[in-house]
Each structure stands twice: as C-alpha cells, then as structure tokens.
C-alpha cells in the first residue's frame, strides 16, 4: 500500500520519485479494481483517493514539463 502525501509533500519530491510514486499508485489502483470486481474490497473509497493521488502526481509532472514549476533534483 502506498502512502498518500499532501500537495506540499509532493512538491518537495524530485521528478524521479514522482515517477515511482505514480507507478505505485497505478499498480495499487489496478489491484483495487480487481478486488472490486471480485467483491473483496474493504473500502471502496480507496479507489477515489488513489485516482486523485494519480491526478495530483500527473499534474505536478505536467507542470514540470511545461516549465511552470522547476523540478527538484535528487539530493545526495
């Protein structure tokens, strides 16, 4: 299960970390949809929150792509 972050927390992440979180969220969404289809889902509202998380991450990535925001670089 992935951890959800607020907008401010996502803004601090580098682009590589956003891409990883997007992949994790999409995998989680597909698992929840499978559970929903087999009537095994515990909380159907999780689907809504994960879809919103995916949209939020994609929005930040698009803003970086357009140059509206400057992506953070990975700090060593």
DSSP 3-state percent helix, strand, coil across the chain (nearest 5)? 65, 5, 30
In the prediction, which pLDDT does 70 show? Answer: 77
Q: What pLDDT does 68 receive?
A: 86
What is the pLDDT confidence band of residue 4, given thresholds at 50, 70 and 90? low
Fill in the DSSP letter of residue 8: H
Which has the higher per-residue pLDDT, 73 or 60? 60
pLDDT digits (tens, 9 = 90+) for 14-55: 888 999 999 999 999 999 999 999 999 899 999 999 999 999
């Amino acid at each position: 299960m992935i951890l959800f972050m607020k907008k401010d927390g996502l803004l601090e992440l580098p682009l590589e970390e956003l891409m990883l979180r997007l992949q994790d969220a999409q995998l989680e969404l597909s698992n929840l949809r499978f559970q929903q289809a087999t009537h095994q889902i515990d909380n159907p509202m999780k689907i809504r929150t994960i879809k919103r998380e995916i949209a939020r991450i994609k929005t930040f990535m698009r803003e970086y792509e357009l140059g509206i925001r400057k992506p953070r670089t990975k700090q060593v």
